[in-house]
Amino acid sequence: MTGETHLPNILASLDVDVRHGTYAVISRRTPDAAADAVAEARITEAEGITYVVPESFARARAEPPGFVAAWLSLRVHSALNAVGVTAAVAGVLAERGIACNVLAGHFHDHLLVPAERRDDAIAAIRSLRGS
C-alpha cells in the first residue's frame, strides 16, 4: 500500500498517539547493555550512542535527565518521500514555543516533546487538520 504524498491530504488525516510514560535522552561513548535492554530508540553517531530510555531508568542510574519528554507518534499514512510533514509539525510547535525532537521510523514519525507540554503539543498538531 502506497503512502500519501500530497501534503494537504496528509495534514487533513493527521492524528497523534501518545506512548505511556515519560522518557529521557542519555548518551554513551560505547554500547551500554542495560540501556540497550530498555531503550525505545538508539542512534549511533560519531560522538557516541544516544538512547531514548524511560525516565525511571535514567533516574535509577543517578542520571537526572535534563529533558523529560512525552513520546508522541504521528498517526498518518504518508509516504517516506512525502515533503513538508515534519516542517508543518515542527512549525506549529515552534509557534507555540514547544521544543520537539523528531525520530523517523519506517511506519511513523515520533516526537519527543517536553512532558509538561504534551497536551499543548497534541492540540497544536491536531490543529493542522483544519489548515
Does the pLDDT at position 130 exceed 80?
A: no
Measured between alpha carbons, how far is residue 98 from residues 30, 67, 72, 80, 83 in Å? 31, 13, 13, 25, 22
Q: What angle do CA 30, 26, 58 make, to 5 degrees?
A: 115
Model confidence over 67-118: pLDDT tens digits?
899 999 999 878 777 888 899 999 999 999 999 999 998 888 999 999 999 9
Of the two residues 52 and 131, the one the predictor is more confident about is: 52
Model confidence over 5-50: pLDDT tens digits?
888 888 888 999 999 999 999 999 999 999 999 999 999 999 999 9
Neighbours of 47 (CB within 10 A): 8
Does the pLDDT at position 124 exceed 90?
A: yes
The answer to whether 25 touches 52, Cβ cutoff 8 Å, is yes
Instruction: Identify the residue whose cell numbers are 489548515.
Output: 131
Does the pLDDT at position 1 exceed 70?
A: no
Going from the N-terminus, what domains does the chain have, and what CATH number goes with each? 7-130 (3.30.2130.10)
Provide the strand spans (E) within 5-84.
15-18, 23-28, 41-45, 48-54, 68-75
pLDDT at residue 64 in the model: 79
Selection from 55, 125, 58, 63 nearest residue 90 by Cα: 125
Distance CA 86, CA 74 (A): 10
The answer to whether 73 touches 89, Cβ cutoff 8 Å, is no
Does the pLDDT at position 128 exceed 90?
A: yes
